[in-house]
Amino acid sequence: MSTEISSETVAELQELMARYPQPRSALLPMLHLLQAVEGHVTTDGIELCAELLDISAAEVSGVATFYTMYKKHPVGTHHVGVCTNTLCAVMGGDAIFDRLCTHLDVGNDETTADGAVTLERIECNAACDFAPVVMVNWEFFDQQTPDSAVELVDALRSGQDVVSPRGATVTSWREAERVLAGFEDGRVDEGPAAAGPSLVGLEIARDRAWSAPSAKGGEDS
């Protein structure tokens, strides 16, 4: 457990603290960064945050246990979240989750024996028009089926390149956590601006030559 947290990491944690009017505001990003470094929230990480922010370890622990993205156990190389909130569940999320449990031989919040994939049921991830939705390291994989989800996790386990249809090439859960903490990874220009259902209304409007009124001179259509 007592992995040494490097001085570079400490410097980055301090960099995050300096971004806010009050340093404690950086606690959530700091915990994201420590997950990137350590693979989960560790006792060492909690104590380091407490020391840097001059608050108690209990206070940091209270925060780390409140939010579902912070993990108390090591996470696999990839985090696979299946939305089983109502709409996705009805549209197939339950069937996808069941199939992945069987295929990977894991239950909720468990990691495959090879350490490649941690499977988790997740709540609504704000992509209901793409239901059912699966997230890999918090990148969108839209309109999934049990078969496509199995293909997806098999590709992840075999180390193939996997690309989100509305995002970047999948890296690892730890690398994703580093971006969430506040450090860019140069992948912002990958993927489209929008795709599929995001563009439905716009496409119908264009087909029918509909638009908002023009700003000057009232209505133009």
Partner 1 sequence: MTDVLTPVLTRNWADDRAWTREAYEAQGGYQALRMALDTVQREGGPDELIEQVKDAGLRGRGGAGFPTGMKWGFIPQDNPKPKYLVVNADESEPGTCKDIPLMMASPHTLVEGVIISCLAIRAETAFIYVRGEVLHVVRRLRAAAREAYEAGYLGENVLGTGKRVDLVIHAGAGAYICGEETALLDSLEGRRGQPRLRPPFPAVEGLYACPTVINNVESIASVPSIVSGGVPWFTGMGTEKSKGYTIYSLSGHVRRPGQYEAPLGITLRELLDLGGGMREGSEVKFWTPGGSSTPILSAEHLDVPLDYEAVAAAGSMLGTKALQVFDQTTSVVRCVLRWTEFYKHESCGKCTPCREGTWWMTQVLQRLDAGAGRDGDIELLLDLCDNILGRSFCALGDGATSPITSAIQYFRNEFEAGMRTPSWELFPPERSVAWASPVGDEAAEVTEGARA
The residue from 122, 152, 153, 162 that contacts partner 1 (CB under 8 A) is: 122
* Cα–Cα dist 80/176, whole Å: 13
Q: Work out how close the CB of 91 gets to partner 1 at its nearest, in angstroms, rounded to a whole number.
A: 5
Determine if 189 is a binding residue for partner 1 (CB under 8 A): yes
Nearer CB in complex with partner 1: 5/197: 197
Determine if 40 is a binding residue for partner 1 (CB under 8 A): no
Question: Looking at 6-14, 108-116, 151-159, 197-205, which segment touches partner 1 (CB under 8 A)?
Answer: 197-205
The residue from 34, 37, 91, 104 that contacts partner 1 (CB under 8 A) is: 91
* Cα–Cα dist 154/158, whole Å: 6
Question: Looking at 2-10, 94-102, 105-113, 152-160, which segment touches partner 1 (CB under 8 A)?
Answer: 94-102
Q: Work out how close the CB of 47 gets to partner 1 at its nearest, in angstroms, rounded to a whole number.
A: 16
Determine if 210 is a binding residue for partner 1 (CB under 8 A): yes
Angle at 142 (CA atoms; ends 36, 122), nearest 5 degrees: 50
User: Angle, nearest 10°, between helix axes 43-53 and 7-18?
Assistant: 50
Question: Looking at 6-14, 82-90, 109-117, 155-163, which segment touches partner 1 (CB under 8 A)?
Answer: 82-90
Determine if 33 is a binding residue for partner 1 (CB under 8 A): no
Within the chain, residue ranges assigned H as helices are 7-18, 27-38, 43-53, 57-64, 86-88, 94-104, 146-157, 173-181, 200-207
The residue whose two tokens read 């001179």 is 217
Encoding tokens for residue 53? 């922010």
The residue from 7, 22, 158, 160 that contacts partner 1 (CB under 8 A) is: 22
Q: Work out how close the CB of 175 gets to partner 1 at its nearest, in angstroms, rounded to a whole number.
A: 10
Determine if 39 is a binding residue for partner 1 (CB under 8 A): no
* Cα–Cα dist 59/31, whole Å: 13
Question: Looking at 1-9, 79-87, 108-116, 155-163, which segment touches partner 1 (CB under 8 A)?
Answer: 79-87
- The full DSSP string for 54-103 is TS-HHHHHHHHTTSTTS-SS---SEEEEEE-SHHHIIIIIHHHHHHHHHH
Question: Looking at 7-15, 24-32, 109-117, 154-162, which segment touches partner 1 (CB under 8 A)?
Answer: 24-32
DSSP 143: S
